[in-house]
Amino acid sequence: MIEPVQLPAPWRDARLTVVVPTYNEAGNLPVLVERLLALPLPGLRVLVADDNSPDGTGEVADKLAIEHPDRIEVVHRPGKEGLGRAYVDGMGRALDGGADYVAQMDADLSHPPEALPGMLGALLSTQAGVVIGSRYVPGGELDENWPLYRRALSGWANLYVHTLLRVRIRDLTAGFKIWRADALRDIGLERVQSNGYSFQVEMHYLATKLGHTILEVPIRFEERREGASKMTTATKIESALMPFKLRSKHRNITR
């Protein structure tokens, strides 16, 4: 586990909300929250957007919110509508709640929370609209236990989207990011159409089209600790078709 960067004041006091969508992550969520709240970021808040998990993740999140009433918020959504819809909901609520910066990360412990202070520092020291925790820039790593088929799928997806959309990001499918609130408002969450994992690509494409600087910093991506991947055939199909939809719908997008 890496040691988190110690940011100077007032950077470390920035109002940062970490949006964590959950579906059947009861075992992982308490560990993630503990690591997030241990970071040297007193302005950090956690917003859990749970899609009515049958394993009781929502109840686990509620207990954590009771233990940390000023730092954790739980949004109970009616059912499993997809990663993209959960992020749009959670990010919108974070902006409404006054966050100046909004992070997004998975609940399965594949993204290292300890990298967040460094990512925030990179955002605050540049004019970037978003900083990506990237697996595919120099210094980035993949867990050696990550299955070969997942590596192949991720590599193919990045090549496929690069070819169709010409977006200059190495890790186009990355889900570990910090956004400036102004960049999210400029993008307009109401524009986002993706339901599943193609949400990541759509957000990168919109940010690029609107001229926001995107910065990638290296992280080590870990294999999930508990539970199963939420990748389904339907989400793979949506991800394959989404670049064509994006080129058509957002071709002439302007501020």
Query: How far apart are the C-alpha atoms of 218 and 231, rounded to whole Å?
Result: 24
What count of Cα atoms within 13 Å lies in the side-chain half-sphere of residue 168? Answer: 6
**pLDDT tens series, the chain, 255 aa:** 789 999 999 999 999 999 999 999 999 999 999 999 999 999 999 999 999 999 999 999 999 999 999 999 999 999 988 899 999 999 999 999 999 999 999 999 999 999 999 999 999 999 999 999 999 999 998 877 766 766 666 766 777 766 777 788 999 889 999 999 999 999 999 989 888 778 998 999 899 989 999 999 999 998 766 655 555 555 556 656 666 666 666 666 766
Structure-token pair, residue 149:
């088929």
Is CATH 3.90.550.10 the right assignment for the domain spanning 11-250? yes
Report which DSSP code applies to 197.
T
**Quick one: angle between helices 233-249 and 198-209, nearest 10?**
20
Whether the predicted model's global pTM rises above the 0.75 cut: yes
**Residues forming beta bridges with residue 102, ordered by sequence position:** 17, 179
Residue 34 Cα to chain centre, angstroms: 18
What are the boundaries of each domain within the chain? 11-250
Query: How far apart are the C-alpha atoms of 149 and 151, rounded to whole Å?
Result: 5
